[in-house]
Structure 1
Amino acid sequence: MFSNWFLKSFRILLLPFAFLYGLVIIIRNWLYDKNISRSTTFALPLICVGNLSVGGTGKSPMVELLVRKLKDRFKVATLSRGYKRKTKGYVLASEQTTSIEIGDEPMQFHRKFPGIPVAVGEERIVAIPQLLHDRPESEVIILDDAFQHRAIKAGLNILLTDYNNLFTRDFYLPTGDLRDSRSSYKRADIIVVTKCPSNFSEEERMSIAGEIEPLPHQQIFFANITYGNPYHIINGTEISFSEQTEVLLVTGIANPKPLKKYLEECSRTYFQLQYSDHHIFTIDDFNEITDRFEHIHSENKIILTTEKDATRLLKFSQRMDGMPFYVIPVEHSILFGQEEAFTRSIMDFIEHFAKPI
């Protein structure tokens, strides 16, 4: 509690830098709004998934949700920046690709959807033509975390905001978590409030919708996180939690709070080794994990990690032989019976896409 108080106090002291950062963002957006800085369009449907803040709003599960809904009807590809990878420029994932080459989230997409082209590139305006050259059959490209990348104008913008940290209540970095202006939400076509609680009520839904004030052309949806059965990191064998299971949770993600709450409800006890977001695990980290696990005195115990973290832990696969090392899948679930409406909005955009002249 003291550390949280100290962090909040320190961030308030950085308020002058937040105003300066906000001014830069406002000027940049003004240049694009006035067409002084130009945005490029492409002759195929581009779906952008993004947010206005730093931290986890659930972009990866949203990309996966879109891929699952579209892959049987359209030839889908994904394009990400490839955050914290050790390579530069455009890279298209192959059978030999590792998370070091493309980043953990794209590697997660590649592992879960092996038939889907997964590419990375810092400059998406350069990477899109390269992706289309390599995979000319692509009919739809999903742009991961590209809402601020205004050099490209996507045909459909999906903006995510965390129920626990709505952009309407946030402020610019470094005092707050905003990396873009709150008014930029007006560029979105679909707004999704993610990580809603399981007891989320109709009254609260209306209250948040009123606070966000979607424009006439915008649709707003609400989603919560659902967890699937953990599967073994090597052989994929699934297990189910029991009330007697003791868990060592290993995470290197921005916001593990929803997962921790889930474990509190469905396991006997959990212990945690928490690393920084996108942490590159070392052999010392792996030794720390195994040592901590050995000190849990229970016959019914497992190690649990996220799918994102699993991509960075697989390099220790030989050392995991025989270990109960499991991965927990996470998905978005659209609330209030609106999943069909959400899907229909995506499909309508693609089916009625008008190529730029």
Structure 2
Amino acid sequence: MKLLRLLLFPVVPIYYIITWLRNRLYDMGWKASTAFPFPVICVGNLSTGGTGKTPMIEYLVRLLKDDYKLATLSRGYGRATKGFRLAGAQDTAATMGDEPFQFYNKFKPELAVAVDGDRVRGINQLVLKVAPEVILLDDAFQHRRVKAGFNILLTTYHDLYVNDFVLPTGNLREPVSGAKRAQIIVVTKCPETLSEQERTGVVNLLKPQKQQQVFFSFITYAEHVYSENASLPLKTLRPFTLVTGIANPKPLLAFLKQAGLSFRHHAFKDHHVFSEQDVAGILEDSTCIVATEKDYMRLMQFEQLKDKLFYLPITVGFYEQTAFNNAIARFVSGD
């Protein structure tokens, strides 16, 4: 794959020009963007994935749900349905997509969760059916037909967008210049012991605009794994089977190895649709199976995994948590 990407390097300037020109047309108003008269917060990235959008959306939900009528809107990647869909009791990861179903499963009934590939239509439908006070757009930074009032751009500490190329050789969906649309840049998956000097060095690399704020976040893993009906201390699981179908499992693997845990890893591509054959392979010699929460949403449908399948929750922490929370609060309140 790496060799193929290198061979495709001559295509990079073409992709760059096309995506740059598209952005310019929106910036100049030649392509229309729709703004809305209530707070719309977009969480996205420049890269193709693995920056931590899902835990960031969940952080914002926890931050805002007690004070505002809240909704999330995602594309619903990999779902078997089409058009607008508002999550309800009949839905699964197959009908909503794994990440939206995770939001619904975790925050119902406080949070309205919807999917629609057309975000403008999706927002209008949410207004009609739910009348939310704040909408969180998941992975919509390149969806320029919506003019979000506030953009949060994520980039990982070990893979900053300034060190990458656009597709197909690199992983960027658009040129680095697109970062200027963000009000906030969050450097995700940082070490928990990142010094102020190291953070300053990253900021200097990113070269944010004067009006942009840069924050640093890290992932905290839970001390227990959970199923629908039980929980177990993570440190007691020896050995176990780990299942990942996410863009970047490296931080999770590093955490588990550092904790001295013994496990066998089944790695699948991001948003993998698990089959009966996959499950049979996972079950070989497995008395306990631990998945990411996103993968758990897709695996919980398999009856043969009942009583063996658990997920490991993660949460986001910030070095400058109060300042980040205040920035969100100011936008939502209109101050």
Range into which the TM-score falls when normalised by the shorter chain: over 0.9
Partner residue, 1:130: 125
Deviations 1:191-213 (A, max 9, x none): 00001123322221000001111
Partner residue, 2:41: 47
- Structure 1 letter corresponding to 2:322: E
Residue 200 (str. 1) matches residue 194 (str. 2):
yes
2:78 and 2:11 map into 1 onto residues whose CA distance is: 25
Partner residue, 2:315: 331
**Correspondent of 1:217 among 211, 214, 218:** 211
Matches within 5 A, 1:69-218: 69-115=63-109, 116-136=111-131, 138-218=132-212
Which stretch has the larger CA shift, 104-113 or 17-26?
A: 17-26
Residue 343 (str. 1) matches residue 325 (str. 2):
yes
Partner residue, 2:225: 231
- Structure 2 letter corresponding to 1:334: F
- Taking structure 2 as the reference length, the TM-score comes to 0.97
1:281 and 1:95 map into 2 onto residues whose CA distance is: 22
Residue 261 (str. 1) matches residue 247 (str. 2):
no
**Correspondent of 1:282 among 231, 251, 275:** 275
In the alignment, structure 2 segments of 5+ residues that lack a partner are: none
State the 1:9 CA deviation: 3.0
SS of residue matched to 2:171:
coil
2:159 and 2:300 map into 1 onto residues whose CA distance is: 32
- Taking structure 1 as the reference length, the TM-score comes to 0.91
- Structure 2 letter corresponding to 1:343: N
Does the aligned pair in 2 maintain the 1:241–1:267 contact within 8 Å? no
> Cα RMSD over matched residues?
1.3
Does the aligned pair in 2 maintain the 1:195–1:224 contact within 8 Å? yes
Partner residue, 1:247: 240
Does the aligned pair in 2 maintain the 1:243–1:266 contact within 8 Å? no
1:42 and 1:250 map into 2 onto residues whose CA distance is: 40
1:37 and 1:153 map into 2 onto residues whose CA distance is: 12
1:96 and 1:15 map into 2 onto residues whose CA distance is: 46
SS of residue matched to 1:9:
helix
State the 1:239 CA deviation: 1.9
Identify if the C-alpha distance between structure 1 residues 29 and 283 changes in structure 2 by more than 3 Å, giving closer, same or farther. same
Does the aligned pair in 2 maintain the 1:39–1:151 contact within 8 Å? yes
In the alignment, structure 1 segments of 5+ residues that lack a partner are: 1-6, 295-301
Where does structure 1 differ by over 4 angstroms across 4 or more consecutive aligned residues?
Answer: none
- Structure 2 letter corresponding to 1:120: V
1:265 and 1:16 map into 2 onto residues whose CA distance is: 41
**Correspondent of 2:30 among 18, 29, 36:** 36
1:306 and 1:241 map into 2 onto residues whose CA distance is: 13
Partner residue, 1:306: 292
Partner residue, 2:301: 315
State the 1:330 CA deviation: 1.1
1:181 and 1:320 map into 2 onto residues whose CA distance is: 43
Does the aligned pair in 2 maintain the 1:93–1:118 contact within 8 Å? yes
- Structure 1 letter corresponding to 2:239: E
Does the aligned pair in 2 maintain the 1:104–1:278 contact within 8 Å? yes
2:236 and 2:128 map into 1 onto residues whose CA distance is: 52
**Correspondent of 1:58 among 18, 27, 52:** 52
Q: Percent identity?
A: 46
Q: Give aligned pairs, total.
A: 334
State the 1:10 CA deviation: 2.5
Does the aligned pair in 1 maintain the 2:240–2:263 contact within 8 Å? yes
Identify if the C-alpha distance between structure 1 residues 331 and 125 changes in structure 2 by more than 3 Å, giving closer, same or farther. same
